[in-house]
Amino acid sequence: MLPNYDAKAVAQILGLVGDDFDGADAAAPSPAFIEKAVENGLPRQALRHVVELLAGGDKAKVSALERGVVPKTTLERRERKLSPHESERTERIARLFVHAPRPRRGG
C-alpha cells in the first residue's frame, strides 16, 4: 500500500462504511482491512458505488464504467462478490478517485 493511503476514504468510496462513519463505534478501516476485503472479493455493490460517484446521474456512463472493469455478461453472473482481480481494479479506481486532484470551485 502507498504510504499516504487513506483507507477510510477508500472504504467510503467503495461503500464499505457509511459517510457518517467517524470511527467512534469501531476502528477506522485500515489498509489491511481494504486489502483483506479485496482478497476475499468486494461486494458487487462496491463497483456500482464507485462508478455512480464517478458518473453522477448518467446511467449510460455508469454502465460503461462498470463494463470497463467487468464485462457485461460476467457482471450479470456476479450475484454477491467480485473476483479478487475485479476487486483489485475496483479498489484502484476508488484510490485514484480519493487521491486525484480536483478543481477548486469559485473564485
**pLDDT digits over 15-72, tens only?**
998 644 444 445 678 999 999 999 999 999 999 999 999 998 899 999 999 999 999 8
**φ/ψ (deg, to 5) at 86:** -65, -35
Q: What pLDDT was estimated at residue 24?
A: 40
**pLDDT digits over 75-101, tens only?**
888 889 999 999 999 999 999 999 887
Question: Which grid cell is 9?
Answer: 476514504
**pTM, two decimal places:** 0.81
In order of 2, 11, 27, 28, 49, the CA distances from 44 in angstroms are 25, 14, 24, 22, 9
